[in-house]
Amino acid sequence: MILMKRFLGLIALGLVTIAASAQWSNPAEDIPAYNAKAPSKPLPPVLSGTQLTGAYFSHPYQVTVYKMAAKIPAVLHQQPCYCHCDRAMGHNSLHSCFEGTHGAACSTCMKEAVYAYEQTKKGKTPAQIRAGIEHGDSENVDLTKASL
């Protein structure tokens, strides 16, 4: 009888554990912050010109990525950033990464921006680009080959 109670207790504990952990494994909740629509007012500027110098811009591709970002601000506004800077830095989209130097220091941000730029040139919508980023398609971007 004691063995049966322990067995049922373990099963109940296992079911509770599975049910409780499901809330943290929901992929839809793992999508970082983004804006579903184009901006309704002007966005803060992406760093440009002489701001693209110094320690954060030691590689030519970092400057190139910022120039790309400046060409598609509304698209970046509608993209999540999977470095999860929304949690740590309060960013509300991929565009936020390029308003300061964070984008130059983070390969995830840069790869997503290059991917968004390239897909925009191919005629993809922000929603289609977002689906690709969520799928992980931007992870294959080679930053050293990024070009305008």
Sequence-distant (≥ 6) Cβ neighbours of residue 137 within 8 angstroms? 115
Q: Crossing angle, helix 60-71 and helix 107-121, to 10 degrees?
A: 50
Looking at residue 33, the DSSP 8-state letter turns out to be P
The token pair at 120 is 């925009």
pLDDT at 28 over 60: no
pTM above 0.85, yes or no: no
- pLDDT of residue 2 exceeding 50: yes
Residue 66 DSSP symbol: H
pLDDT at 128 over 50: yes
Is 60 exceeded by the pLDDT of residue 137? yes
pLDDT in tens, 41-98: 999 999 999 999 999 999 999 999 999 999 999 999 999 999 988 888 989 999 999 9
- Given a cut of 60, whether residue 12 has pLDDT beyond it is no
pLDDT of residue 13: 47
CB-count exposure of residue 130 (10 Å: 0-12, 13-18, 19+): buried
The Cα diameter of the chain in Å comes to 78
Cα–Cα distances in Å, from 44 out to 3, 57, 92, 123?
65, 20, 12, 25
pLDDT at 22: 42
- What was the pLDDT predicted at 8? 54
5 pLDDT tier (thresholds 50, 70, 90): low
What lies within 8 Å, CB to CB, of 82 at 6+ separation is 32, 108, 112, 133
